[in-house]
Amino acid sequence: MTVGLLVILFSSNGVAQQCDDLKRDMIALELFLQDQEDKEEHCPNLKWEQPDISVYKETLESQLPEKCKK
């Protein structure tokens, strides 16, 4: 029975990590899409190439220049 409990504890840690990863991905996607929307709304004439979503996942920060944010 103790071995079974240890297996459950270790496997639930993997689930927690997956949830953390999913949460991070969701935040990154939200920032990615918000940057697109803010650029079009606040500075459509600005030449700006949006970074890949992987940059957002790493930094969890907007990549839009300050002068273009709301």
- Amino acid 7: pLDDT: 54
**CA 38 – CA 51 distance, rounded (Å):** 15
Answer whether residue 36 shows pLDDT above 80.
yes
Mean residue pLDDT of the chain comes to 84
Q: Is position 9 within any domain?
A: no
Model pTM score? 0.73
- Amino acid 1: pLDDT: 47
pLDDT band at 9 (very low <50, low <70, confident <90, very high): low
Return the residue matching tokens 């890949």.
Answer: 52
Looking at residues 27-34, what average pLDDT do you find? 96
Q: Is position 5 within any domain?
A: no
- Amino acid 18: pLDDT: 74
Q: Is position 37 within any domain?
A: yes
Q: Which domain holds residue 63?
A: 22-70
Q: Is position 17 within any domain?
A: no
Q: Is position 52 within any domain?
A: yes
The domain total for the chain is 1
